[in-house]
Amino acid sequence: RIAHRRLTGDAILVDRSGKVILTDLRGGEIAAGDLVLRMDIAQLLTTLGLRVGAERAVAAAVEVLGPDKVADCLPLLQPIALSRSTRATLRKLARERAEREREAVLKASDEARQARLEAAAEHGQPEGAVKDEKAERKAVRAEKQAEKRALDEALDEAREEDLLAQIRRQVLLIRPQAPVEPVRLERIRPRTLISLIAGAIAAYFLLSQIARTPLSTIAHADWAWVAMAVLFSALSYVAAAMSLLGFVPERVPFVRTVVAQVAGSFVKIVAPAAVGGVALNTRFLQRSGVRPGLAVASVGASQLFGLGAHILLLLAFGYLTGTEKTQDFTPSRTVIAGLLTVAVLVLVVTAIPALRKFVSTRLRSLFAGVVPRMLDVLQRPGKLLTGIGGMLLLTAMFVLCLDASIRAFDQGDQQLSYASLAVVFLAGNALGSAAPTPGGVGAVEGALTFGLVAVGLPLEVATPAVLLYRLLTLWLPVLPGWFSFNFLTRKGWL
For the chain, which residues make up each domain, given as ranges?
191-490
For residue 210, the model assigns a pLDDT of 62
pLDDT band at 98 (very low <50, low <70, confident <90, very high): confident
pLDDT, mean over the chain: 81
pLDDT at 169: 92
**pLDDT band for position 87 (cuts 50, 70, 90):** very high
Higher pLDDT, 333 or 255: 255
Residue pair 6/81 in contact (Cβ under 8 Å)? The answer is: no
Average of pLDDT values for 81-103?
90
Lowest mean pLDDT among 73-87, 226-240, 358-372: 358-372
Residue of 380 and 119 predicted with greater confidence? 380
- Residue 480's pLDDT is 92
What pLDDT does 428 receive?
81
Weakest-pLDDT range from 54-58, 153-157, 283-287: 153-157
Average pLDDT for residues 85-108, to the nearest whole number?
88
User: What is the pLDDT confidence band of residue 411, given thresholds at 50, 70 and 90?
Assistant: low
The residue that leads in pLDDT, 396 or 430, is 396
Instruction: Output 328 or 153, whichever has higher pLDDT.
Output: 153
pLDDT at residue 430, rounded to an integer: 79
Q: Give the percent of the chain with pLDDT over 70.
A: 80
Rg from Cα positions in the chain:
32
- pLDDT for the residue numbered 335: 55
**pLDDT tier for residue 329 given thresholds of 50, 70 and 90:** very low
| Position 43 pLDDT exceeds 70 | yes
In this prediction, residue 416 carries a pLDDT of: 76
Average pLDDT estimate for 123-131: 52
Instruction: Supply the pTM of this predicted model.
Output: 0.60
pLDDT over threshold 80, residue 431: no
Higher-confidence position of 106 and 234: 234
Mean pLDDT check: name the lowest of 161-165, 333-337, 379-383: 333-337
pLDDT in tens, 268-295: 776 655 567 788 898 899 999 888 878 8
* Average pLDDT of span 180-184: 77
Q: Which of 182-191, 352-361, 395-404 shows the lowest mean pLDDT across its residues?
A: 182-191
pLDDT band at 333 (very low <50, low <70, confident <90, very high): low
pLDDT the model gives residue 171: 92
* Predicted local confidence at residue 189, as pLDDT: 66
Model confidence band, residue 168 (pLDDT cutoffs 50, 70, 90):
very high
Residue type, 415: Q
Residue 158 has pLDDT above 60, yes or no: yes
Cα separation values, 329 from 147, 324, 426, Å? 75, 9, 22
Taking the C-alpha atoms of residue 105 and residue 156, their distance in angstroms, rounded to an integer, is 10
The listed range with the strongest mean pLDDT (38-52, 321-335, 348-362, 421-435) is 38-52
Q: Quick: pLDDT tens for 208-254.
A: 666 666 655 566 778 889 999 999 999 999 999 999 999 888 889 99
d(C-alpha 268, C-alpha 261), whole Å: 11
- Kindly indicate the confidence band of residue 16, based on its pLDDT and cuts at 50, 70 and 90: very high
Q: How confident is the model at residue 467 (pLDDT cuts 50, 70, 90)?
A: confident
CA dihedral in degrees (339, 340, 345, 347; nearest 10)?
120
- Does position 413 have pLDDT exceeding 70, yes or no? no
**How much is the average pLDDT of 364-381?**
69
pLDDT greater than 60 at residue 296: yes
